[in-house]
Amino acid sequence: MSRQTSQPAAKTTPDLSSAEGLLAALQDLRHTVEQEGLATLATWTPHIQRPDFLFSAHNLAHYITLRRYDLRDLQAALIPWGLSSLGRIEARVLPNLDAVIATLQRICGHDPAQDHPPMGSLFEGHHRLQRHTEDLFGSPLLHRQVRILVTLPTEAAFDAGLVREMIRRGANSVRINCAHDTPEIWRCMIDHTHRAAEELNVSCRVLMDLAGPKIRTGPVIAPPQKKRLFRGDYLVLSRCAPPPGGGDLCTPGIPAPHYFQTCCTVPEILDLLTVGAPVYIDDGKIRTCVVDTHHRMPDGSTALLLQVTHASPKGAKLRPEKGLNFPNTVLPLSPLTNKDLSDLDFVAAHADMIGYSFVQRPSDIDRLHEELAQRIPAGQPCPALVAKIETAVAVANLPELIVHAAGKQSFGVMIARGDLAVEIGYQRLTEIQEEILWLCEAAHVPVIWATQVLETLVKKGAPSRGEMTDAAMAERAECVMLNKGPFIAEAITILDDVLTRMEAHQRKKTPQLRALRSW
């Protein structure tokens, strides 16, 4: 980089077609990554209590800095030299940069400013991720590293053989959804899990999933002679249950005299919405937007008037107890409801892992830690924490969520792809789930790939082709979650086979060149 004697010159773009230019670009990049990474780490350090996590936090800070830059031209320039193109740098950023720089220095005939990093340092991040995965899920099976997490149905409390069969077929962990059933039923599920794991001489951890705020539709009233909503229809979303007789008032300018009506189980959300805001119902099967925030009701109260922007050509049924999503609207809700706090008394004493629903901000992590501290005696180990990433806010805050959680305890991330897809859009989900995997690998944090994995197989007994591809892609996570269904045992067997096969071909982002036997 040349400088004028009279005043500092602007940085020149190195010539990436030469080894000297590549070397200069990489040295400049490394300097930036190290300096900006140190500044980021300094803001995180007050929240890190586990000394072991400092190493991972430092690497995460380096990775975030690195990925603020578009490195595609640099990658393309490295390939002809037979050097790493930095495409698998997540787990250990600086040693990978140092290895390429040291090699380029030798190619250029320079005395290397530093030796090639020790071989062990290049794999230290992978070893830490494996160790953290084992801390979370226990020991892996001999034939498979990626774990399988299975959601237990209510029947698991009364059928010990069902639980045993799940674990025998390859389930490494079980999930109990605290939105359903009771502590007595949960206790039976846990007892059956522990007994089966002991009989089969395998590890099987228990994840208990706090329900979080249930944002759902309430009772539904349909206008006369109408059973389904179609695109262009209107519906009223109120703050309380609609009156038994309906009796909606017409809004001027809209000819239809009667609309579908329902309410929101968390009514304060409605005060946050503005005209044009999207509102999605039932996992996005019905998509609407707000057209009036002060639609007058017969009792003088006001409600939201929504217009349907998307529904099946045959119409969609509006049903009670269906999820409501509000993309583009930041919901300042606590992820811990009164029910969650009550459930936490049992969960803190019995779970190996706590699934944290609707977590969005670092303060949400801190709040759960405070609640756990009140329930767990000093010196007793705290259950591991799994943050469910299901909103755009959680995605944006993911680095800080990781630091606040993993800085204090064993920690994992669940990509809750159902709600996340509705919140950010299906097209964006395809890239965001990849970015979450990369970011968590940089922090050496295990990831659970969740929602609708082999869903048709679990529910109907035969998978779709797309589901099989999705299951194969899931191998890049540390754990894959299956939901409950009548064919769950068969699904575990098939997923076990898919993951075992794919591990021979892929490790995270790195293809494994196992000998091919198809030809």
Provide mean pLDDT across the span 43-71: 97
Whole-number Å distance between alpha carbons of 328 and 276: 10
pLDDT at 4: 39
Question: What is the residue type of 191?
Answer: D
Provide mean pLDDT across the span 406-430: 94
Classify residue 124: in a domain, yes or no.
Answer: no
pLDDT surpasses 60 at 251: no
Classify residue 297: in a domain, yes or no.
Answer: yes
pLDDT at 300: 80
pLDDT at 242: 53
Residues 383 and 482 both lie in one domain: yes
Provide mean pLDDT across the span 317-330: 93
Summarised one tens digit per residue, pLDDT across range 489-512 is 999 999 999 999 999 999 998 888
Classify residue 7: in a domain, yes or no.
Answer: no
Whole-number Å distance between alpha carbons of 55 and 39: 15
Residues 214, 215, 218, 221, Cα dihedral to 10°: -150
| Per-residue pLDDT band at 115 (split at 50, 70, 90) | confident
Residue 148 pairs in a beta bridge with 480
Summarised one tens digit per residue, pLDDT across range 427-457 is 999 999 999 999 999 999 999 999 999 999 9
* Percent with pLDDT over 70 in the chain: 94
pLDDT at 249: 44
pLDDT at 380: 87
> How many CA atoms are closer than 13 Å to the CA of 257, on its beta-carbon side?
3
Among 2-16, 338-352, 400-414, 494-508, name the one with the lowest average pLDDT: 2-16
Whole-number Å distance between alpha carbons of 80 and 364: 48
Residues 29 and 107 both lie in one domain: yes
Classify residue 142: in a domain, yes or no.
Answer: yes
Helix (H, G, I), strand (E, B) or coil at 80: helix
Among 87-96, 189-198, 230-239, 508-517, name the one with the lowest average pLDDT: 508-517
Residues 313 and 354 both lie in one domain: no
pLDDT at 253: 46
CATH code of the domain containing 367: 3.20.20.60
Summarised one tens digit per residue, pLDDT across range 257-306 is 478 999 999 999 999 999 999 999 999 999 999 999 999 887 788 899 99
Classify residue 346: in a domain, yes or no.
Answer: yes
Six token digits for residue 450: 């969740």
Provide mean pLDDT across the span 37-44: 97
Residues 101 and 152 both lie in one domain: no
- The closest alpha carbon to 58, from 121, 145, 103, belongs to 121
* Chosen domain end from 308, 325, 342: 325
Provide mean pLDDT across the span 195-202: 97
Domain enclosing residue 24, as ranges:
19-117
pLDDT at 240: 73
Six token digits for residue 38: 């140190």
Domain count, the chain: 3
Residues 346 and 260 both lie in one domain: no
pLDDT at 244: 52
Cα angle, residue 21 at apex, residues 113 and 65 outer, rounded to 5°: 75
Classify residue 64: in a domain, yes or no.
Answer: yes
Provide mean pLDDT across the span 307-332: 94
Summarised one tens digit per residue, pLDDT across range 336-358 is 999 999 999 999 999 999 999 99
Residues 242 and 268 both lie in one domain: yes
Residues 265 and 192 both lie in one domain: no
Residues 105 and 206 both lie in one domain: no
Residues 180 and 112 both lie in one domain: no
Residues 26 and 151 both lie in one domain: no
Strands 302-310 and 353-356: unpaired
- The H-or-E segment that residue 290 falls in is strand 286-296
| Per-residue pLDDT band at 328 (split at 50, 70, 90) | confident
In 6-17, which positions are buried (b, 16+ CB within 10 angstroms) versus exposed (e)?
eeeeeeeebebe
Provide mean pLDDT across the span 408-436: 95
Contact 261/248 with Cβ under 8 angstroms?
Answer: yes
CATH code of the domain containing 288: 2.40.33
| Per-residue pLDDT band at 64 (split at 50, 70, 90) | very high
Among 206-210, 244-248, 297-301, 503-507, name the one with the lowest average pLDDT: 244-248
Question: What is the residue type of 105?
Answer: Q
Contact 219/367 with Cβ under 8 angstroms?
Answer: no
Residues 98 and 239 both lie in one domain: no
Helices assigned H by DSSP within 175-316: 183-200
pLDDT surpasses 60 at 23: yes
* Chosen domain end from 299, 325, 351: 325
* Chosen domain end from 82, 117, 152: 117
Summarised one tens digit per residue, pLDDT across range 461-482 is 999 999 999 999 999 999 999 9
pLDDT at 38: 97
| Per-residue pLDDT band at 12 (split at 50, 70, 90) | low
Residue 180 DSSP class: S
pLDDT at 112: 66
Among 9-18, 205-214, 450-459, 501-510, name the one with the lowest average pLDDT: 9-18
- The H-or-E segment that residue 306 falls in is strand 302-310
Classify residue 486: in a domain, yes or no.
Answer: yes
pLDDT surpasses 80 at 134: yes
pLDDT at 461: 95
Residues 341 and 303 both lie in one domain: no
Provide mean pLDDT across the span 77-91: 94
Classify residue 357: in a domain, yes or no.
Answer: yes
pLDDT surpasses 60 at 309: yes
Among 157-161, 298-302, 311-315, name the one with the lowest average pLDDT: 298-302
Whole-number Å distance between alpha carbons of 283 and 408: 34
| Per-residue pLDDT band at 10 (split at 50, 70, 90) | very low
